[in-house]
Amino acid sequence: MTFQHFGSGTYFRADNYYSRYYILNPMQFVQEYDKLIVKPKIYRDKRCRWSTPYDVIVNIIENQRRGVKASCGMGIWKTVKRYNDLLCMDFDDFMSGEAVAMKFLYHVKLYYERQTDIPEEWKDVWNSHGLVSHFLNDCKRFDELTEVAEVGSLRYDNVIFENGQGLSLCDTGLNTIDTTPSDTGITYALQLAREMGISDITAHYVTRPYLTRHGAGHIDNECRRNDLSTSVADDRTNHYNEHQGEFRYGMLDIEILRRRVVWDARGIDFVLDVTHCDEMDRLGEFKRYFDHVNAIDTALV
């Protein structure tokens, strides 16, 4: 399975921690958790932002109206905007009682109805009591399966910070199809490491030897997959989907990547991990631009 709410070390029995920078989706969490072969211990910061079904539905509606496929369909941008508009609540406060939860969800629903015309085909789902009931049940399970902890109170011999998205998709403050509402480099990890008292840090930047992205939006030097190399295989985890559209490819400019990584690392020791090296041999080029490069074949990813 492809993890969205769980770290890559989960099946190695690593504990999971959702920092205050993480955006939770209780419904997605429960779906993934129930499929896990290994069930990890899960901690969370009480300040985590979290999405409601209404954030997700409006996200999908707006992208349908825009006629673009450029979203993961999880309501991330809508959640961020709602929090910026101060319509938010700590998850533990939300779980303090059914009346509190229902009142908050009512206000979130009303918030979107005041700014979005809900299409007729979505109204049954939008007004469904079953949707609310399902969400509240998943919130209860999420609450039972996670433990609140401040990051500074956690003590481990080894800590791995994980971040997603490409460096060029970093937050610009604008809700565009080219960006994600977060810092995509090591900004968050460095802040959390300081709070944990960790000073011995090595940053690992992971890339394929070519560019990829899902759906609409800019991609440099776009080309067909087979134009990169006839050895580039069809990706097993990034097929077409209704929200993000097609998986696209482009030729990677290694010098641009080097400048972006050096800027992001801010003097921290770093390694470049190049995956899918058996699909496209550019290792010599990478080594001319980077001091430390690890090569990883597709069979190992």
Paired strand residues for 222: 250
Q: Give the residues across from 203 on adjacent strands.
A: 270
Token look-up 């990883």 returns: 296
The pLDDT score that the predictor gives to residue 220 is: 87
Strands 146-148 and 211-214: unpaired
Q: Name the nearest CA neighbour of 22 among 4, 34, 35.
A: 4
Question: What are the CA-CA distances from residue 196 to residues 28, 125, 214, 271 (Å)?
Answer: 28, 43, 35, 22
Amino acid at 257: L
pLDDT > 70: percent of the chain: 89
pLDDT at 129 over 60: yes
At residue 22, does pLDDT exceed 80? yes
CA distance 81 to 11: 34
Where does residue 187 fall: left (phi above 0), alpha (psi -120 to 50 degrees), or beta otherwise? alpha
**Distance separating alpha carbons of residues 142 and 192, to the nearest angstrom:** 23
- Three-state SS for 270? strand
So what's the pLDDT on residue 2?
75
Between residues 6 and 213, the one the model is more confident about: 6
Express each pLDDT in 51-84 by its tens digit.
999 999 999 998 888 766 565 668 888 999 999 9
